Structure 1
Amino acid sequence: MSKKTLPIATICAWMPRIDPTPDYQRPPAWSRKQKQLLIDSILREYDIPKMYWRSVDRDDGVKYEVIDGQQRLRTIWEFRDGKYALPRDTDPIQGIECSGKKYDDLDMDISTVFDSYAVDVVIIDDAIQTDEEDEVRDMFLRLQNGTTLKAQEKRNAMPGQMRNFAREIAAHPFFENCKFNNSRFTFDHVASQMICIEIAGGPTSVRDSDLNRMYRSNTAFDANGKHGKKVRRVLDYLLRAFPEKTPELERYNAISLYCLASTLLEGYVHLGTENHLASWFIDFETSRRANDHLDEEERDASLIEYKRMTSYSTDAEESIRGRLEFLEKLFFSKFPDIEPRDTIRTFTPEQRLAIFRRGGGVCQIVTHCDGGKLSWGEWHADHITPHTKGGKTVVSNGQIACPACNLSKGSG
């Protein structure tokens, strides 16, 4: 580390070379009053806390990333750019009236005080190794210990692959179509809850303490493992179901629909059901909201109970499980013809032998091969009607496929 004392004029001139929000940082959070108070302190030449920057060398020209001091830095830049004025009740500074004035309106003596004010900046050398990268994140958490950081903002500064995967999933376009916005990493929070549910294999408690534990115990999480792939598949399915902004997608609804879609993908012939899910859900939400406006004696008791589960302890396992069971009952009653998948996906050795003999040892697909004879260890037993479309794992639905042809079909 090294310490520099930089005048505000230099800090403003360096703005294009400073990144105030590296990925572990929280977004801007200060109110107008907080910003005005800092500027008032600077103009009166009071001491303000030092900043911590990390020295980097990025292709976009950035030379520093802000570890601590982002809110102060943005406040200084915004005041210098005339984004806001001092309060109208500001007392005179050095006997000069400053109330309600922006930077360009200040007396020259006062603006000179601002430009020449010296800020202490601690520079941390560029961290190249992973363990040093983790130290930078740990430093961020320690420096923020006295401030009000939301739980997800703290998790975003935790080291490890779970944190990286959650950030990746939070960028999935499905979240942009939900009613809630990404204020203070809300997308990351909901994405983390979905990942937690997927790892648990179904409804589970997704409170902050549960998510913190998941981040800590999955620092080596494999984003391309079965859970990572499943989370992406479910969100892709939900995006196909809701390709546009959908105001009914509240946070609790996004979680409930994730659980329902995960169940569909895991155990049912789900291809082509996206429109069914979307139209049914919007109709359900319309009916549920209409129920709230009925006279008390006319309301559907089951919808009253469902509303209770969406209003209190929505992150608790009991609430998530109750909502899922209620929605599953309605959805599958509406679409009783959605067929469960065959619980057996892999052909037995006896079935494979029968399929091989019946097909004469020749690839039946012939899209990436010449249809030549295959030896026993060189072929795949393929479902003629794909398993994902309800194909049974029986000899009559099996065919010989060379590896190239079979893998070219995709997973469906």
Structure 2
Amino acid sequence: MSKKPLPISTICSWQNRIDPTPDYQRPPAWSKKQKQLLIDSILREYDVPKMYWRAVNRPDGIKYEVIDGQQRLRTIWEFRAGEFALARDADPVNGFPCAGKTYDQLDLDVSTIFDAYPVDVVIVDDAVQNEEEDEVRDMFLRLQNGTTLKAQEKRNAMQGQMRDFVKSLAQHKFFESCKFSNSRFTFDQVAAQVVCLEMAGGPTSVRDADLNRMYSENAAFDANGKVAKKVRRVLDYLLRAFPDKTPELERYNVITLYCLASTLMETYVHTGTEAAVASWFIGFETERRQQEELDEEHRDSQLVEYRRLTSYSTDGEESIRGRLETLEKRFFLACPDIPTIDAIRAFTPEQRLAIYRKDDGCCQIRTHCKGEKLSWSDWHADHRVPHSKGGKTTVSNGQVACPPCNIAKYDSLPDAIEVVG
């Protein structure tokens, strides 16, 4: 490490060389009052805490990543660009009035104090290998220990494949349909919660302590494994159900809807049910809001309880389980004709032999071949009507398929679970 006192004029001229938000950083969080206080402190030449930058060599020309000091750095840049003014009750500086003034409106003597103010910057060099990457993230967390970082902001700075998977999952377009914004990593928070729910196989506590434990215990999480694929499929399903901004999709509703959709995809013939789910859910939320306008004695007791469960401890197992039970009861009463999937998915050895003999060992799909003859050791037993669409695991619904044809068919199904060989 090396410490360099850099004048603010230099820091502003280097703006294009500095990345204030590498992926472990939190987004901008300071209020206008906090920004005004920092600038006022600089103009009065009070001491300002030093910043920590990491020297990097990136193709985009960035030379430094900010480990600590992002909020101060952004504030300096924004004030220099005239994006906000000093407080209206700010005292004069060296006899010059400053209240309510932007940088360009300051007296030259005062703006010179700002430009010449030396900020202590600690440059961290050679932190480019994996082991140094761990140290940089640890340094970030230690430096932020005295600030009000939210729990998900801290998790975002953790190392491991679980953190990376949640980070990528937070980019899913479904979250753009939700009412809440991504302020301070809210998308990451909900993404982590649905992963936790999927790993548990249903309702479980998804509080911060539970998510912290999930990140720590699953640092080697497989982003291409069964759980990861299932989470992506459920979010894809929800996106098809809610392609546009939907104000009913509150944060607590999303994690409960996720559980409902996960169950639906696991147990029921769900293909084509997206519109029904969306229509029913919006109707449910409309009825629930209308109920709140009624006198207590005329309200539906089930919806009163549902409202209670959305009012406190919404991330606790009891609350999630209770809300899910209400949604499941009402959804399947409203849509009683959705059939269950055949509980047996894989063909038995006897069924495989019968299917192979029935089709004379030749591929029946014929999209990547011409119906070639396959050896016993190199073929897939495929459902003619896909299992996810209600196809039964019977010899009459089975067919011989060469691996390329079957994999291509599998890839064309949005909710396929696995290739049955």
Q: TM-score range by the shorter chain?
A: over 0.9
Q: Which stretch shows the higher mean deviation, 167-176 or 360-369? A: 360-369
Within a 5 Å distance, the mapping from 1:9-408 to structure 2 comes to 9-408=9-408
CA deviations 1:135-164 (Å, max 9, x no partner) are: 111110000000000000000000111111
Q: C-alpha distance in 2, partners of 1:387/1:374? A: 23
Distance 2:32 2:374 in 1: 73
Q: CA deviation at 1:95?
A: 2.2
- Tell me the matched-pair count: 412
Map of 1:8 onto structure 2: 8
The one-letter code of the counterpart of 1:120 is: D
- The one-letter code matched in structure 1 to 2:204 is T
Residue 106 of structure 1 deviates from its aligned partner by 1.3
Name the residue aligned to 2:416: none
Structure 1 distance, partners of 2:48, 2:128, is 30
Match for 1:353: what amino acid? L
The answer to whether the Cα contact below 8 Å between 2:384 and 2:397 also exists between their aligned partners in 1 is: yes
Which has the larger displacement, 83-92 or 2-11?
83-92
Shift of 1:126: 4.2
Please state whether the residue corresponding to 1:3 is helix, strand or coil: strand
Among the aligned pairs, what percent are the same residue? 74
Q: How large is the Cα RMSD of the aligned pairs? A: 1.0
Q: What TM-score comes out, normalization by structure 2 length? A: 0.96
Deviations 1:77-124 (A, max 9, x none): 111111112222222222222222211111111111111110110111
1:290 shift after superposition: 0.4
What SS does the corresponding residue of 1:45 show, helix, strand or coil?
Answer: coil
Offset, 1:28: 1.1
User: Separation in 1 of the partners of 2:87 and 2:398?
Assistant: 77
Which runs of 5 or more structure 1 residues have no equivalent in the other structure?
none
SS of the residue corresponding to residue 393 of structure 1 reads: coil
Q: Contact (CA 8 Å) 2:6, 2:119: kept in 1 or not?
A: yes
TM-score, normalised by the number of residues in structure 1: 0.98
Q: Which moved more, 1:129-138 or 1:251-260?
A: 129-138
**Superposed displacement of residue 210, structure 1:** 0.2
Counterparts of 1:254 and 1:407, CA distance in 2: 32
User: Distance in 2 between the 1:196 and 1:247 partners?
Assistant: 24
The farther-off stretch of 52-61 and 178-187 is 52-61
Q: Distance in 1 between matches of 2:373 and 2:98?
A: 90
| 4+ long deviations beyond 4 Å | none
Tell me, in whole angstroms, the C-alpha distance in 1 between the residues paired with 2:405 and 2:77. 59
> How far apart in 1 are the matches of 2:373 and 2:21?
60
Shift of 1:128: 2.3
